[in-house]
Structure 1
Amino acid sequence: MKRLLLAGVFALATFGSATAGPVSDFEDVYRQMYGAYRIVLFKTNLGDVGASTEAMTSFTSQLDALSATYGAAPPPHYEDDPHWDDTMAEVTQLAAATKALIDAGELAEAHEVLEAVREAFSALHIRNGIQTFSDRMNAYHAEMEHLLALDMATLDAKMMTKVHERAAVMSYLAAEVIATPPADATGNDAYAKLVADFDISVSALLDAVRSGDPDAVKAAVGKVKKPYSLLFVKFG
């Protein structure tokens, strides 16, 4: 039995050493591409045509580089994924559609189309049992969007309950984000400040909801998006 266990450990170690290079090589390229993607999202949301065009050029270049290397030959951790080809084709199509909208000056529409890129990559990760810092940020973002879609005009008891429910989920998801920082967060003062501001915004939201003060709730809801966005564009 001991020999079998040792053999299993050796096999895992051999697999790890054999795949660490290809996996990390892919993840390096992916992080560069996804970083460029985040900037396009941010710039289109700001409504800056020139900056969006420049950012889109960078994202397209990074995506083309990833596709050229891995499109037909996925890295080890995705080589058994049955929808790898579909995911890459979908993201490429979304990028092309986004570029066309940016070129036409339709930045709001471009931003909406571009949102689907993160959903495609999140689905890829879920299918393959992978979770990254970006995935945790995306989970928070999805819940935040539900909160921001609520009608805050009349914060009656029913609406306050809905806000409280969303705030509680956001608080949990924010804790998951904060508990597992990205690799480049270590010793990074910029990350420390951004994540602290993010944490403060979520805590303030929960405190406001618990207070039952409609004005405090409206103010807190209005302050959750910016800290998230700044953390996302830099590290998410």
Structure 2
Amino acid sequence: MKRLIIASALTLFLSTTYAADAFTDAMQQAYAPYRVALFKTNNGTPDEATKSVQQAKQAWKKITDQFSAQPPAPYDRDEKFAATLETVMQVYNQAEEQATQKQLAKSHETLEKVREALADLRHRNQVIIYSDHMNAYHSVMEQILEENKKILAEPDGIQQLTAKAGVLIYLSEKLRTEAPEQYRNNAEFTKLIDSQKSSVDALREALFKNDAPAIHAAITKLKMPYSKLFLKFG
């Protein structure tokens, strides 16, 4: 699924258009409590996490009740539309149960499936929103976070990471250039996107110096600036 998010986003970046249909608008509004739920299951207390998942679930229930029987264009020709909405609801049910049982790491991992399901839904219907750019960056960033130690241990590890970082740098620039106008005019967005860009610039500088310890240190600092940006604007 992560490869699908990256491939679809990179393909569509060349001719980005933003949809303005009722379902996409509602989905983006429901994404706000979803982002909080992701954050709370990763950083909050069990009570905070459970409450946030329940709020995100309730927002999604409203969408399901409103649109599952009669989706607007362009989703009206998607045979999997209603099934996808139900799948997302099932994910929320599972994440809520896990959070209630204080299994926050599992709940967080389960919630990631919402991001993937909705990205796939939009891709099938040729709809692009800013979240798709955030998702593409996130997928490459997570790969680098997970694999950098193993890669750096290889003889050509720095060269391999430089290639991966090239993709990350490209996607990082897209986070800035593809931001909606209301984001670009927002002082908080500017501050957060500058912080996110600085983390990528630090990685690029470490790679240019062929400094393995500095490269690893820079990689460990990629996630927090992204997470702050995603929580508010992703």
Structures share a fold, TM > 0.5?
Answer: yes
Alpha-carbon distance between aligned partners in 1 of 2:107 and 2:64, rounded to the nearest angstrom: 21
The answer to whether the aligner puts 1:215 opposite 2:210 as a matched pair is no
Give the aligned partner of residue 115 of structure 2: 118
Question: Contact conserved, 1:136 with 1:176, CA < 8 A, in 2?
Answer: yes
Q: Which amino acid aligns with 1:198?
A: Q
- 1:173 is matched with 171
The residue aligned with 1:46 is 43
Q: What corresponds to 2:90 in structure 1? A: 93
Which of 64, 67, 70 in structure 2 is aligned with 1:67?
A: 64
| Equivalence map 1:197-208=2 (5 Å) | 197-208=195-206
Q: 1:183 to 1:31 in 2, by over 3 A?
A: farther
Cα distance in 1 for residues equivalent to 2:111 and 2:70: 25
Equivalent residue number for residue 230 of structure 2? 232
Aligned length: 215
TM-score under structure 1 length normalisation: 0.86
Distance 1:54 1:85 in 2: 26
| 8 Å Cα contact 2:64/2:86 also seen in 1 | no
Against the structure 1 CA distance between its residues 108 and 164, is the aligned structure 2 distance closer, same or farther, given a 3 Å change threshold? same
Partner of 2:158: 160
Q: Is the 8 A contact 2:35 2:231 kept in 1?
A: yes
Unaligned runs of 5+ in 1: 1-19
Amino acid across the alignment from 2:46: V
1:142 has 2:148 as partner: no
Whole-Å separation in 2 of the counterparts to 1:79 and 1:36: 26
Structure 1 or 2, whichever has the larger Rg, is: 1
Identity across matched positions, percent: 33
Q: Which has the higher contact order (CA 8 A, sep 6+)?
A: 2
Q: Paired residue for 2:9?
A: none
Out of 52, 57, 61, the residue aligned to residue 54 of structure 2 is: 57
Tell me if 1:104 matches 2:101: yes
Cα shift readout 1:149-194 (whole Å, capped 9, x = no counterpart):
1152754432222221221110011111111113531421110000
User: Residues 85 and 26 from structure 1, CA distance in 2 versus in 1: closer, same or farther, beyond 3 angstroms?
Assistant: closer
